[in-house]
Copies of this chain bind each other. A is one copy, B any other.
C-alpha cells in the first residue's frame, strides 16, 4: 500500500524568491551594469530545489530514486520531506562526509555505492527494479525539471529589470533551458548566454556541431556541478535554438570569479555558481558597457576547496 501523499503546495508557494544584488564595486571593476541573481539562499542552497520540488510534487509516485553527489540530492531529499514522499539518493561511497550528512539532514535515504565496483547508473537501475513503483528522476533531462527551473526565468522577467544578456552556468543544461523557457513564457526575448567550463565543453561543441556531443569521461573541472557527460535530450531541444551562445570558461577565470564575488559582492558561491561571472572575465569586451544579469546557481562548497580558492591556490 502506498503511503498517503500529504496535501502539497505549489512550487510558487514553496520556492524562495531569488535574490537580486547590484554590486557597485564589481560593476565598476568589470565596466558593466551588473546584476547578480543568486540562488545560494534558495532552499538547500541551490536552484536545484526548483526542479526537485516541481518534479516530486507532480509525479504520482510516492517514492523517488535519483543519483546525485551534490545539490540535486539535497534538493530532492528536502522536496520529498516537504511533500511527505520518500526518496533514495545514490551517492558514491567516497563522497565528502558533509555532502552525505546534508542529504541525511534534509531527510533523504542515502545509498552509497562503490563506484569502482558498480556505476551509479547501474545501482539506480537495480534499485528501480527492486522498487517498481518508484520514479527514477534525472537531475536535468526531464520536462518537469525544466519546468521547475523555468520559475527562475519567470522571476527574472517579472522583476521588470531589463538586461542585454542573462548569463547562466551550463552543466546538463537544465538551468539554461529552464531560464529560456521561463523568459519566453513571459514574452521576454532577452538573450541567454551559457557559461561552461572549458574542460567540460560538451555543450559548446554540441552547439557548434548541431548535435549532442558527449565528453568521453567525467571532466575534472573545479566546477563540479558541470561535470556532466552531456546535456540532456529535452534540454537540447530548447538550447539548440534558444541559447544565444556558450562561452567556454578556463579554470582560472572560474576561480577568479569566486574570489571577486567574495571580495566585491560579499557572496559565497561554489565554483559552478561562479561560472557566469567567469564567462564575463573570459570575454570582457563582449559585455563592456552593457546591462548584464549573472546567475549564481548555488553556494554549497567544501570549506577546504573554498579556502584554497580564496587564498589564490
| Chain A: interface residue total (CB-CB under 8 A) | 30
**Cβ of A98: which chain B residues have Cβ within 8 Å of it?**
263
B21 lies within 8 A of A266 (CB):
no
Closest-CB distance, A174 to chain B (whole angstroms) = 20
A102 at the interface (CB under 8 A from B): yes
Tell me, yes or no, whether A307 is within 8 Å of chain B by CB: yes
A202 to B97, CA, bound (A): 42
Q: In residues 1-53 of chain A, which contact B (Cβ within 8 Å)?
A: 16, 19, 21-22, 24-25, 28, 40-41, 43-45
B266-A299 in contact (CB<8A): yes
Tell me, yes or no, whether A78 is within 8 Å of chain B by CB: yes
Contacts of A267 in B (CB 8 A): 41, 268
Q: Determine if A263 and B303 form an interchain contact, defined as CB atoms under 8 angstroms apart.
A: yes
* A230 partner residues in chain B, CB cutoff 8 A: none
| A164 CB contacts on chain B under 8 angstroms | none
Q: Please tell me if A105 contacts chain B, counting CB pairs below 8 Å.
A: yes
Whether A117 sits at the interface, judged by CB under 8 Å, is: no
Do the beta carbons of A28 and B105 come within 8 Å of each other? yes
Q: Mark interface residues in A294-313 (1 if CB within 8 Å of B CB, else 0).
A: 00000110010011001100
Shortest beta-carbon distance, A77 to chain B, in Å? Answer: 11
- Contact assessment for B43 and A21 in the assembled complex, using a CB-CB cutoff below 8 Å: no
Inter-chain contacts of A105 with B (CB < 8 A): 25, 28
By a beta-carbon cutoff of 8 Å, the part of chain A in contact with chain B is: 16, 19, 21-22, 24-25, 28, 40-41, 43-45, 78, 98, 102, 105-106, 262-263, 265-268, 299-300, 303, 306-307, 310-311
